Amino acid sequence: MTSGKLREVYILIDPLTQQIRYVGQSKNARVRYSQHLRDAERRPRNYRVYNWINHLTKLNQKPILRIIELTNDPDSSETYWIEFFRNSGFDLCNHTNGGKGPNGKIHSEEFKQMISHIHKGKIVSAEVGRKISKVKKGKPTAPEYCGVNSYKATLTEDQVRLIRSFPNEIGSTELSRKLGLAFHVVNRVRLRQTYKYVV
Protein backbone atom coordinates (compact mmCIF):
# COMPACT_ATOMS: atom_id res chain seq x y z
CA MET A 1 0.00 0.00 0.00
CA THR A 2 1.41 3.34 -1.04
CA SER A 3 -0.08 6.54 0.33
CA GLY A 4 0.86 10.13 0.83
CA LYS A 5 0.99 9.78 4.62
CA LEU A 6 4.10 8.41 6.27
CA ARG A 7 3.71 5.46 8.60
CA GLU A 8 6.18 4.12 11.14
CA VAL A 9 7.77 0.71 10.86
CA TYR A 10 8.88 -0.42 14.31
CA ILE A 11 10.50 -3.32 16.10
CA LEU A 12 9.99 -4.75 19.59
CA ILE A 13 13.14 -5.90 21.35
CA ASP A 14 13.42 -8.33 24.24
CA PRO A 15 14.95 -6.38 27.18
CA LEU A 16 16.47 -9.58 28.60
CA THR A 17 18.19 -10.89 25.49
CA GLN A 18 18.35 -7.74 23.31
CA GLN A 19 16.91 -9.86 20.49
CA ILE A 20 14.45 -8.40 17.98
CA ARG A 21 11.16 -10.30 18.39
CA TYR A 22 8.54 -8.41 16.41
CA VAL A 23 8.18 -6.08 13.42
CA GLY A 24 5.10 -3.94 12.88
CA GLN A 25 3.77 -0.81 11.24
CA SER A 26 1.47 1.96 12.43
CA LYS A 27 0.69 5.62 11.91
CA ASN A 28 1.72 6.04 15.56
CA ALA A 29 4.05 3.31 16.84
CA ARG A 30 3.88 4.46 20.45
CA VAL A 31 0.08 4.21 20.50
CA ARG A 32 0.29 0.80 18.83
CA TYR A 33 2.85 -0.27 21.44
CA SER A 34 0.35 0.51 24.21
CA GLN A 35 -2.27 -1.49 22.33
CA HIS A 36 0.09 -4.47 22.17
CA LEU A 37 0.45 -4.39 25.95
CA ARG A 38 -3.33 -4.19 26.45
CA ASP A 39 -4.06 -6.85 23.85
CA ALA A 40 -1.64 -9.25 25.51
CA GLU A 41 -3.97 -9.33 28.51
CA ARG A 42 -7.14 -9.85 26.45
CA ARG A 43 -6.32 -11.85 23.33
CA PRO A 44 -6.20 -15.67 23.05
CA ARG A 45 -2.91 -17.22 24.09
CA ASN A 46 -2.25 -18.73 20.65
CA TYR A 47 -0.57 -15.50 19.56
CA ARG A 48 3.21 -15.81 20.01
CA VAL A 49 3.73 -12.09 20.43
CA TYR A 50 1.22 -11.91 23.27
CA ASN A 51 2.66 -14.99 24.98
CA TRP A 52 6.07 -13.34 24.80
CA ILE A 53 4.79 -10.02 26.17
CA ASN A 54 2.95 -11.80 29.01
CA HIS A 55 6.13 -13.70 29.85
CA LEU A 56 7.99 -10.40 30.16
CA THR A 57 5.18 -8.91 32.23
CA LYS A 58 5.52 -11.71 34.79
CA LEU A 59 9.18 -10.71 35.10
CA ASN A 60 8.24 -7.02 35.49
CA GLN A 61 9.70 -6.28 32.07
CA LYS A 62 8.32 -4.73 28.88
CA PRO A 63 9.40 -4.91 25.24
CA ILE A 64 11.65 -2.13 24.01
CA LEU A 65 10.09 -0.11 21.19
CA ARG A 66 12.29 1.22 18.41
CA ILE A 67 11.15 2.97 15.22
CA ILE A 68 13.35 1.95 12.30
CA GLU A 69 11.72 3.60 9.29
CA LEU A 70 9.23 6.22 8.15
CA THR A 71 7.61 5.24 4.86
CA ASN A 72 4.63 5.83 2.59
CA ASP A 73 4.79 2.16 1.50
CA PRO A 74 4.44 0.42 4.88
CA ASP A 75 3.38 -2.98 3.54
CA SER A 76 6.53 -3.38 1.47
CA SER A 77 8.74 -2.01 4.25
CA GLU A 78 7.25 -4.28 6.89
CA THR A 79 7.64 -7.29 4.60
CA TYR A 80 11.23 -6.35 3.83
CA TRP A 81 12.27 -6.03 7.49
CA ILE A 82 10.50 -9.23 8.58
CA GLU A 83 12.32 -11.14 5.85
CA PHE A 84 15.61 -9.41 6.67
CA PHE A 85 15.50 -10.12 10.41
CA ARG A 86 14.37 -13.71 9.94
CA ASN A 87 17.20 -14.31 7.50
CA SER A 88 19.53 -12.74 10.08
CA GLY A 89 18.55 -15.43 12.59
CA PHE A 90 16.06 -13.57 14.79
CA ASP A 91 13.15 -15.60 16.17
CA LEU A 92 10.31 -13.22 15.31
CA CYS A 93 6.86 -13.59 16.81
CA ASN A 94 5.13 -12.30 13.65
CA HIS A 95 2.41 -14.67 12.40
CA THR A 96 2.71 -13.46 8.81
CA ASN A 97 5.40 -12.25 6.43
CA GLY A 98 4.09 -8.69 6.64
CA GLY A 99 1.82 -6.57 4.49
CA LYS A 100 -1.90 -7.36 4.47
CA GLY A 101 -1.84 -11.11 4.08
CA PRO A 102 -0.05 -14.28 5.22
CA ASN A 103 2.35 -14.09 2.30
CA GLY A 104 3.10 -10.39 2.66
CA LYS A 105 3.60 -8.25 -0.41
CA ILE A 106 6.04 -8.39 -3.31
CA HIS A 107 8.40 -5.43 -3.20
CA SER A 108 7.94 -2.80 -5.87
CA GLU A 109 10.98 -1.92 -7.98
CA GLU A 110 10.86 1.57 -6.52
CA PHE A 111 11.10 0.15 -3.01
CA LYS A 112 13.98 -2.17 -3.95
CA GLN A 113 15.91 0.72 -5.44
CA MET A 114 15.24 2.83 -2.36
CA ILE A 115 16.63 0.11 -0.07
CA SER A 116 19.60 -0.42 -2.39
CA HIS A 117 20.60 3.22 -2.45
CA ILE A 118 19.43 4.46 0.94
CA HIS A 119 22.90 4.26 2.46
CA LYS A 120 24.75 6.05 -0.30
CA GLY A 121 26.32 9.36 0.71
CA LYS A 122 25.29 12.72 -0.61
CA ILE A 123 27.30 14.20 -3.47
CA VAL A 124 28.80 17.59 -2.70
CA SER A 125 30.39 19.70 -5.42
CA ALA A 126 34.08 20.63 -5.11
CA GLU A 127 33.16 24.30 -4.76
CA VAL A 128 30.73 23.66 -1.92
CA GLY A 129 33.29 21.39 -0.28
CA ARG A 130 35.95 24.11 -0.38
CA LYS A 131 33.55 26.65 1.15
CA ILE A 132 32.60 24.31 3.95
CA SER A 133 36.26 23.48 4.62
CA LYS A 134 37.17 27.18 4.73
CA VAL A 135 34.39 28.00 7.17
CA LYS A 136 35.20 25.05 9.45
CA LYS A 137 38.97 25.54 9.51
CA GLY A 138 40.11 26.18 13.06
CA LYS A 139 36.56 26.16 14.43
CA PRO A 140 34.77 23.43 16.37
CA THR A 141 31.75 21.98 14.60
CA ALA A 142 28.45 23.28 15.94
CA PRO A 143 26.14 20.53 17.25
CA GLU A 144 23.50 21.30 14.64
CA TYR A 145 25.97 20.28 11.91
CA CYS A 146 27.18 17.09 13.56
CA GLY A 147 26.11 13.51 13.02
CA VAL A 148 23.11 13.04 10.73
CA ASN A 149 23.04 16.79 10.05
CA SER A 150 26.51 16.72 8.57
CA TYR A 151 26.70 17.06 4.80
CA LYS A 152 28.80 13.88 4.83
CA ALA A 153 26.27 11.85 6.81
CA THR A 154 25.18 8.56 5.24
CA LEU A 155 22.95 7.31 8.07
CA THR A 156 19.83 8.50 9.84
CA GLU A 157 19.45 8.28 13.61
CA ASP A 158 17.05 5.34 13.24
CA GLN A 159 19.58 3.51 11.07
CA VAL A 160 22.28 4.11 13.70
CA ARG A 161 19.98 2.72 16.40
CA LEU A 162 19.18 -0.27 14.19
CA ILE A 163 22.88 -1.09 13.75
CA ARG A 164 23.44 -0.88 17.51
CA SER A 165 20.39 -3.04 18.24
CA PHE A 166 22.08 -6.13 16.78
CA PRO A 167 23.74 -8.39 19.36
CA ASN A 168 27.52 -8.66 19.42
CA GLU A 169 27.23 -12.27 18.26
CA ILE A 170 26.58 -10.87 14.79
CA GLY A 171 29.97 -9.54 13.71
CA SER A 172 30.41 -6.21 11.98
CA THR A 173 31.59 -7.94 8.80
CA GLU A 174 28.40 -10.01 8.53
CA LEU A 175 26.19 -7.10 9.56
CA SER A 176 27.75 -4.70 7.05
CA ARG A 177 27.15 -7.27 4.30
CA LYS A 178 23.51 -7.74 5.26
CA LEU A 179 22.86 -4.00 5.50
CA GLY A 180 24.76 -3.17 2.33
CA LEU A 181 27.11 -0.82 4.18
CA ALA A 182 30.89 -0.50 4.30
CA PHE A 183 32.50 -2.40 7.18
CA HIS A 184 34.14 0.72 8.65
CA VAL A 185 30.77 2.55 8.73
CA VAL A 186 29.08 -0.24 10.70
CA ASN A 187 32.06 -0.92 12.95
CA ARG A 188 32.61 2.72 13.93
CA VAL A 189 28.92 3.12 14.73
CA ARG A 190 28.97 0.02 16.95
CA LEU A 191 32.13 1.23 18.71
CA ARG A 192 30.50 4.67 19.15
CA GLN A 193 33.32 6.35 17.31
CA THR A 194 30.68 8.07 15.19
CA TYR A 195 27.16 9.29 15.99
CA LYS A 196 28.12 9.32 19.67
CA TYR A 197 25.13 11.45 20.65
CA VAL A 198 22.56 8.94 19.30
CA VAL A 199 21.10 6.87 22.13
Q: In this structure, what are the phi and psi dihedrals at residue 104, rounded to the nearest 5 degrees?
A: 70, -150
Residue 185: per-residue pLDDT: 86
Q: Where are the alpha helices (DSSP H) in 11-124?
A: 29-42, 48-58, 74-87, 109-117
Domain boundaries, the chain: 7-115, 126-190
Residue 127: per-residue pLDDT: 61
pTM: 0.52
Residue 11: per-residue pLDDT: 93
Mean pLDDT by groups of 10 residues along the chain of 199 residues: 73 92 93 92 76 92 92 88 88 81 48 49 54 51 46 71 87 84 87 83
Contact 149, 142 (CB under 8 A): no
Residue 119: per-residue pLDDT: 40
For residue 41, give Cα distances in angstroms to 50, 53, 55, 102, 168: 8, 9, 11, 24, 33
- Short-list 74, 30, 27, CA closest to 12: 30
Q: Give the SS3 label for residue 68.
A: strand
Residue 36: per-residue pLDDT: 92
The letter for the amino acid at 2 is T
| Assigned architecture for domain 7-115 | 3-Layer(aba) Sandwich (3.40)
Residue 131: per-residue pLDDT: 53
